[in-house]
Amino acid sequence: MFGQRWSVLLLSTVLLSACGSPAPPPPPAPTPAQQQAGQAAEKLQMYEQLRAAGKGDLAAEIGADIVARFPGTPAAVEVGKTLPELQQQARQGAETRRLERLWTYQESPVEKGKPARQFHVSIYAKGSPTSEGPQRVTLFIRQHPEWGQSTYLMRDESGFLCARDCALTLRFDDGKPERWAATIPPTGEPAIFIDKNEALVARLLKAKTLSIDTEWKDQGKKTLEFELAGLNPAKLPPAKKK
């Protein structure tokens, strides 16, 4: 009987000792610096994945965010090795796309219901409004099945003036002024044609900018500027003899 009581007492003591043992301390919370480093590391992984996939624009945005929000972290240091070059490439890509979007390529039937088609490649003068009106001027390269290739300026309204010995002054990039023979259409359209169109198209494909001195019927002398660098030769139809 005594032994039985002793066993119960001993077991109770052991249980009480176990219940009274302190719990192990929780792991320390990450410091703000550690939290930043972890977030930056996650973004770094995304940055590298986008770079590897050739999505430089998106990668550059994420890389710039890492450097700005998490300076001094290992991720920011790693990004700093490749970000400047990536940003430069992104800027160049954006500018290339902007220049390409300036040009419009169109194909349309010469007459409704007939198979013959004509092609127009066009670009607005720099600063021209996109809505119709007397201030809007367009440079066209046209390929017509009967008339061949033509290069001309077109206004929405009023048109141009030119002397009997008609010529326009053109400047390609930073080159010297050049006089090019031109023609006002006798049919009255608000246009002026540049006569040596095949030679002009060849120059347009090589130059980045073009300025043309013109005289408008209603507004006097105007210099028109065009950003040429986005012209895609692969989208130009082959020139045909008139």
Q: What is the pLDDT of residues 113-126, one digit of tens each?
A: 666 788 999 999 99
> Which phi and psi (to 5°) does residue 171 adopt?
-130, 125
Per-residue model confidence as pLDDT tens digits over 200-233: 999 999 999 999 999 999 999 999 999 999 999 9
The answer to whether 137 touches 125, Cβ cutoff 8 Å, is: yes
What sign does the dihedral 147-152-157-161 (CA atoms) show?
negative
At 10 the pLDDT is: 46
- Interacting residues of 183 by C-beta distance below 8 A, sequence separation 6+: 162, 166, 192, 193, 195
At residue 115, the pLDDT reads: 66
Do residues 79 and 67 touch, judged by C-beta distance below 8 A?
yes
Beta-strand relationship, 137-144 and 117-124: antiparallel
Instruction: List helix spans (H) across 20-73.
Output: 32-52, 56-69
Tell me what pLDDT residue 102 has.
97
Question: 88-126 in b/e burial notation, b at 16+ Cβ within 10 A?
Answer: eebeeeeeeeebeebbeeeeeeeeeeeeeebbbbebbbe
pTM: 0.76
Which segments in the chain show pLDDT lower than 50?
A: 1-3, 6, 8-11, 14-16, 18, 242
Q: What is the pLDDT of residue 114?
A: 67
Which token pair is 59? 């990668």
